Amino acid sequence: MKIGIVGTGNISTRHLNEFSKIENVNVEAVCDTNVENLNLFLKNNKEKKIRGYSSLENMLENEKYFDGISNTTPDKFHKETSLQILNKGFNIFCEKPLAENYQDAKEMVDAAQKSKKINMVNFTYRESSAYQKLVEILKSGQLGTPRHVSACYYQSWLASDKWGKWREDDKWLWRLSTKHGSNGALGDTGVHIFDFAVNAVGDIKEIFADLKTYYDKGDKIREYILDANDGFNSLVKFENGAIGTITNTRYATGHANSVILEVFCTQGGLKVELDEERTKWSTLHICQNENINKMAWDIINCPKTPSNYQKFIESIKTNKNLQPDFSQGAKIQKIIDSCIKSNDNKSWIDINIM
C-alpha cells in the first residue's frame, strides 16, 4: 500500500515509522510548504527513497495513486488540506484536533461521507491496551454504573526544557497563539483527554469550563501573540448520570506527558495512567469484588492492541471505517467549542444545543 504525508514536522516521523512497520505499507511521497523541514525529513530518511514536494497541490498533481494520505500539518491547516485530499478521492488519516471549530469539523465530516472514503483522526492514547480493556470492562457493565470520573492530561513543556526551549521553536510557539489557529492546551491536548473520557464513559451532556492563559510568560514572541490558554479545568455531567472533572495543563512539572483516567462505578473502579515512554500503557488498575472493602487494587496486564495506523490500514483493506473517525473528531470539537463558550459566558453549556 502507498501512503503520502502532508507536513514533515515533528509528528511526521512517527507517521513514517508507524506506517513503515506494517507489512506491505510504504510511505512513497511527502510534501511541506517549508522547504527546510521538507529537505531535513528527506535527508533523515534518504534510504527510503521518498519523493518530496513543496506543496500538497504539487504532490497530488504528480502522484496519481495513494491508498491513503496522512495529514500532519498544524491544526489551522487541517480543514483546507483534508478537503483537498478527500475531494481528490483519497482515504485520509488526519492529526488531531480535527479542525479549529465544530463548524469546520462538520464540513470535514460531510466531505468524508460524500466521498465515501476512509477517514480517521489520530487520537493516540486509544492505542493503550490498558485503556482498551478499561473501555471493554465499562461497556460490559461488570462494575455497575459509572458515577464519578477524573481525567487529566499533564504536560510540563512551559516549565521545563524536556522537549527543548519553547521560546525558540516555531513548533511550540504556534501552539500558544490563537492567530496561528491554536485553541491552546484545550485544542491541542484537551481533545485527547475528552476523547479518552467520552469514548470510555459516554457522551457529555453539560459542561462548565475555566480556561487560563498565563501572561507572565510574556505576551509576544516574534509574530506569535501568546494568547492561547495554557490549561483548563472543567466540570462535566455525562448523559448516563455520572459526573466528573476533566483537566489539562502545560505546567505539570514532573510529568512530560501523562494521561490519567479514573472511573468509579457502583461496583468498582478502574484506572489507567499513561506515561511518555509507554511503559504503563498496558497496565490497568482495577478495584472490585472483595477488594472494595480492602481498598485494594489489582493490576491487569493487557496484551497489545492495534495502533491507529494499523486500524487505518485495516479500514482501507476491509472498507469498514474503524474508530476514531471524523464524526468522533467533530463530536470532540463540539465539546471544545462548548468549553470556550462556557469560559466566555461563565455558565454551564448544554452540549446538545450548542
Task: Reply yes or no: is the peptide bond before residue 324 cis, omega within 30 of 0.
Answer: yes
Identify whether the C-beta of residue 18 lies closer than 8 Å to the C-beta of residue 11: no
Does 199 participate in binding ligand NAD (rule CB under 6 A)? no
When binding is defined by CB under 6 A, the residue of 73, 283, 328, 342 that contacts ligand NAD is: 73
Does 81 participate in binding ligand NAD (rule CB under 6 A)? yes
Q: State the residue number with the nearest CB to ligand NAD.
A: 9
C-beta closer to ligand NAD: residue 166 or 264: 166
Of 3-11, 134-142, 202-210, 276-284, the segment contacting ligand NAD by CB under 6 A is 3-11
Of 32-40, 211-219, 273-281, 310-318, the segment contacting ligand NAD by CB under 6 A is 32-40
d(CA 271, CA 264): 9
Phi-psi region of 289 (alpha: psi -120 to 50; beta: other; left: phi over 0): left
C-beta closer to ligand NAD: residue 10 or 26: 10
Task: Kindly state the smallest distance separating residue 225's Cβ from ligand NAD, in Å.
Answer: 17
- Cα within 13 Å of Cα(314), Cβ side: 10
265 φ, ψ to 5°? -115, 175
Task: Kindly state the smallest distance separating residue 295's Cβ from ligand NAD, in Å.
Answer: 34
At residue 331, the 3 state secondary structure works out as: helix
Task: Kindly state the smallest distance separating residue 45's Cβ from ligand NAD, in Å.
Answer: 14
Rg (CA), the chain: 20
C-beta closer to ligand NAD: residue 33 or 291: 33
C-beta closer to ligand NAD: residue 174 or 264: 174
Contacts of ligand NAD in 34-63 (CB under 6 A) = 34, 37, 56
At residue 221, the 3 state secondary structure works out as: strand
Q: Which three cell numbers stand for residue 88?
A: 481528490
C-beta closer to ligand NAD: residue 58 or 142: 58
When binding is defined by CB under 6 A, the residue of 18, 28, 32, 325 that contacts ligand NAD is: 32
Does 195 participate in binding ligand NAD (rule CB under 6 A)? no
Task: Reply yes or no: is the peptide bond before residue 97 cis, omega within 30 of 0.
Answer: yes
Contacts of ligand NAD in 98-127 (CB under 6 A) = 122, 124
Does 72 participate in binding ligand NAD (rule CB under 6 A)? yes
Task: Report CA 236 to chain centroid distance, whole Å.
Answer: 19
Pairing type for strands 146-155 and 68-71 reads: unpaired
C-beta closer to ligand NAD: residue 276 or 314: 276
Does 259 participate in binding ligand NAD (rule CB under 6 A)? no
When binding is defined by CB under 6 A, the residue of 171, 180, 205, 285 that contacts ligand NAD is: 171
C-beta closer to ligand NAD: residue 98 or 349: 98
Sequential DSSP letters for 117-186: --EEEE-GGGG-HHHHHHHHHHHHTTT--EEEEEEEEEE-TTS--TT--GGG-HHHHGGG-GGGT--HHI
Q: Which three cell numbers stand for residue 85?
A: 485530499
Residue ranges in contact with ligand NAD by CB under 6 A? 6-12, 31-34, 37, 56, 72-75, 77, 81, 95-96, 122, 124, 171, 188
